[in-house]
Amino acid sequence: MSLNEISYQEDYRSGFDHLVDDFFRPSLAQSKVYWRAVGYFSSTALESFGAPLGDFIRRDGHIRLITSVELSARDLEAIERGIPKQEVCANRLEEIIDTDFADGIGNGTVRLLRLLELDRLEIQIAIPNIGTGIYHEKIGLFFDEDSYVAFTGSSNESRNAFENNRECIDVFTSWNSPTRAARKKAHFEALCVFQTKV
């Protein structure tokens, strides 16, 4: 089976559809590559994927993730004092790691670590060039050998977003919506090579 054999809906809405069971797991089960750009990422998302994530890894699957780091008032003051934004973001990321790992390692964190050890996960932190806002767009793509599925919507990459929040995603396939799917792919690629100001 491949992605184009899945009967995709035009959109998925929690409360009407189960985002994980109806969209994410079937897509991951048929993919070799998963790209995701979100404002917020939690390793709990990896718990939601279940067994299809293991199958994805067995097929030499690779995940490329772009996410934000939310800066505190203290962080913003440091930037105003002239400390480079990249340095402040790196320090903030270190604080997040210290906090999240303080209570032990959960299943999602273990999966995250394994993906990094296997070189199957690439993470890029989106740092805004100007202002105090964060990168908050949500784009995703699943690729198999011949086709791909792009999606956008309200959902971040976390178990809460997938299973508890009220979320909606719109889906564009390379075979039914080639122009829109290609546009989403181009948007993601531009982020990866820093052609787009975040």
Q: List the chain pLDDT tens, one digit each, 198 residues.
A: 799 999 999 999 999 999 999 999 999 999 999 999 998 888 889 888 988 998 898 889 999 999 887 655 665 565 566 666 667 667 766 666 565 544 454 578 788 888 888 889 998 888 767 666 777 899 999 999 999 999 999 998 888 898 998 999 999 999 999 999 999 999 999 887 654 444
The answer to the question of residue 149 being in a domain is yes
Predicted pLDDT of residue 197:
43
CATH assignment at residue 103 = 3.30.870.10
Place of tokens 């296997």: 118
The answer to the question of residue 124 being in a domain is yes
Predicted pLDDT of residue 141:
98
- Tell me which residue range forms the domain holding 74: 6-192
The answer to the question of residue 141 being in a domain is yes
The answer to the question of residue 198 being in a domain is no
The answer to the question of residue 1 being in a domain is no
The answer to the question of residue 102 being in a domain is yes
Q: Which residues contact 161 (CB under 8 A, 6 or more apart)?
A: 19, 40, 45, 155, 167
The answer to the question of residue 145 being in a domain is yes
Counting beta carbons within 10 angstroms of the beta carbon of residue 94, is it exposed (0 to 12), middle (13 to 18) or buried (19 or more)? exposed
The answer to the question of residue 197 being in a domain is no
Pull the structure tokens for residue 169.
Answer: 């995603």
Sign of CA dihedral 115, 26, 147, 68: negative
- The count of structural domains within the chain is 1
